Amino acid sequence: MGKRSALRGTATLFTVSDDGRQYQKFGLSEITNGMNTTLTPALTPRSQGSVQIRINRNKLLGLFLVYVKYYDETNRSYKQRFLSRPGDNSLPDHTVVPIYELPPNHQNCPRG
């Protein structure tokens, strides 16, 4: 858990091939707690954020790359990357599927 508030966060979701040579952008969305885009470092429901980005499973190349950008109270920007493998793909559409974070190697953010 962070020690500072995260302001105006966005997440960009890509699908990336296992070898990292192919990628496609699925979309970008604000990170929100349901009411606003300010997330505070506390253990309350409003301190956690989420994002919803619609994907086409037929275009999944193997992995998800999530590129997160947010700001602190002094307007300094921060960037993080999360490379993940999707969970069970046998579920019907419109179902939330867990993704499992992979080790941090080869987490370059594609331009797009």
| Among the listed residues 19, 10, 21, 20, the one whose alpha carbon sits nearest the alpha carbon of residue 66 | 10
Domain ranges for the chain, please list them.
6-101
How far apart are alpha carbons 15 and 63 in whole angstroms? Answer: 6
**23-30 and 38-39 strand pairing:** unpaired
Q: What is the pLDDT of residues 10-66, one digit of tens each?
A: 999 999 998 888 999 999 998 887 776 666 666 555 567 778 888 888 898 988 888
How far apart are alpha carbons 59 and 80 in whole angstroms? Answer: 24
* b (16+ CB within 10 A) / e for 96-112: eeebeeeeeeebebeee
